[in-house]
Structure 1
Amino acid sequence: MMKDFKWRWQDTLIVILGLATLAYALINYSKLPQELPAQFGITGKVNRYWDKNIAIFVFGILGIVLPLIMQFTRSIDPKRDNYKKFENAYAMSRLAIGMLFNLMLVLSIAYGLGKDINVGKIAIGAVGIMFIALGNYMPQVKDNYLFGVRTAWTLANPEVWRKTHRLSGIMWMIGGLLIFAGAFLSGALSKLLIITALVLAIIVPILYSWMISRPLKS
């Protein structure tokens, strides 16, 4: 399994950014309230709090460990050889995921310190940017069981997988732009943009993979 693990510059950056984020949290630990934001709603308001120890541990660990674990989980994928065909896309996607968790921790700490910034809106905007980043690499992802749009139809046919991910890349980038725009608007328009983005990025690719698989079955 270890032969499938190849340390890349993205892994180095994941560790550096993750440790820097944890250091920021620990340096300010004594100044923080006992509870920190753990989740933001689509309006940008905090809708869940965690004990600060749990928040720092979870966000801090996920920012480093989750992207690195994804390097090992590929080894148990029956289609693990396909990862070699999209190494850079996979590495950049893991980096984007790690950076998002790092930012969530930074924003949570900033909120706890009483910084005069709208951390909820920034968090949603960051999710939009991640959608755009992942959408950019989505068409490069080859069929596998652990990463991408994994439906019964995409996994059963490489051509369905290819077409679905080509569309998914477009949908995720459009969705990301809508989420980013929605983050800095308010009221019903903001909610509409974000909900539309989620439909485009999640529901549309699933339905599309089903639709294009039907002629193949017949």
Structure 2
Amino acid sequence: MSRPHGLIAVLLTFAALGASLVLYERLPAIIPLHWNLHGQVDGYGAKEWAVFALPSLMAALLVLYRLLPWLSPRRFEVDSFRLTCDFLMVLSVALLGYIHALSLWAAASGTADVARPMVAGIFLFFALLGNVLGRVRRNFWIGVRTPWTLASERVWIDTHRFSARLFVAIGIAGFLAILAGAPIVAAVALLLASVLVCVVYSLVHSKRLERRGVI
């Protein structure tokens, strides 16, 4: 992990933890944890553990990324795209920190509607993910990991180039649609459909290359 990326991720994690500690006494005993597709709270938790759940997950993610080079088997190492991996680590930690900040805001105010900005942030995450997804090389941890992409370097590269363009387009379109007031259900359905399209593409493209004798 590069020092700048690691430092940013650590600072984000400590900022999330610090926000929990600062706001702890002002929060109600039971705080919202989950929102359904209609933007309504449908899950609560005791603040004693709930306010520390996402900062703990952010810290765990840092540890996992640190271990990826050691965990990865030969020919599936992450070292070949280390800087991209580091960027995705910061991006993932930042998304969790953003969700944590919105959750604290909702808990502290008691009235804030955070479902829409939360979904908008997820779409922005996918747009940024797509911007670098084409640089990810074959591995067991990051990317469109299907039996067909893992079995063929050619299928992996082609699938990730396709997925990168799709994620950028869907991410930007979904982000703008949410800001414009589009239904959250429709936006999330579009996002899930795009993920499914990437999986199907890897299968169809693999079979096409097999018929042509390329792989």
Map 1:49-88 onto structure 2 (within 5 A).
Answer: 49-79=44-74, 82-88=77-83
Q: Which residue of 1 aligns with 2:162?
A: 167
**Overall identity of the aligned pairs, in %:** 25
Q: Which residue of 2 aligns with 1:121?
A: 116
Q: Which residue of 2 aligns with 1:197?
A: 191
Q: Which residue of 1 aligns with 2:7?
A: 12
Q: Alpha-carbon deviations, 1:128-156, whole Å to 9, x = none?
A: 11111111110000001111110000000
The AA in structure 1 aligned to 2:68 is: T
- Give, in angstroms, the shift of residue 39 of structure 1: 2.0
CA–CA distance in 2 between the matches of 1:113 and 1:195? 30
Checking the alignment, whether the CA contact within 8 Å between 2:62 and 2:89 is kept in structure 1 is yes
Question: How many aligned positions are there?
Answer: 211
Q: What is the root-mean-square deviation of aligned Cα atoms in Å?
A: 2.0
CA–CA distance in 2 between the matches of 1:41 and 1:185? 19
The AA in structure 1 aligned to 2:186 is: L
Checking the alignment, whether the CA contact within 8 Å between 1:74 and 1:146 is kept in structure 2 is no
Q: Does 1:154 align with 2:153?
A: no
Checking the alignment, whether the CA contact within 8 Å between 1:142 and 1:161 is kept in structure 2 is yes
Structure 2 residue matching 1:113: 3-state secondary structure: helix
Uncovered stretches (5+) of structure 2, i.e. residues with no partner:
none
Map 1:135-154 onto structure 2 (within 5 A).
Answer: 135-154=130-149
Structure 1 residue matching 2:78: 3-state secondary structure: helix
The runs of at least 4 aligned residues of structure 1 exceeding 6 Å deviation read none
Larger deviation: 67-76 or 158-167?
67-76
Uncovered stretches (5+) of structure 1, i.e. residues with no partner:
1-5
Change in 2 beyond 3 A, CA 1:173/1:45 = farther
Checking the alignment, whether the CA contact within 8 Å between 1:182 and 1:190 is kept in structure 2 is no
Change in 2 beyond 3 A, CA 1:181/1:50 = farther
CA–CA distance in 2 between the matches of 1:131 and 1:175? 8
- Give, in angstroms, the shift of residue 191 of structure 1: 2.4
Q: Alpha-carbon deviations, 1:21-53, whole Å to 9, x = none?
A: 211111111110112222223333322222212
- Give, in angstroms, the shift of residue 80 of structure 1: 6.2
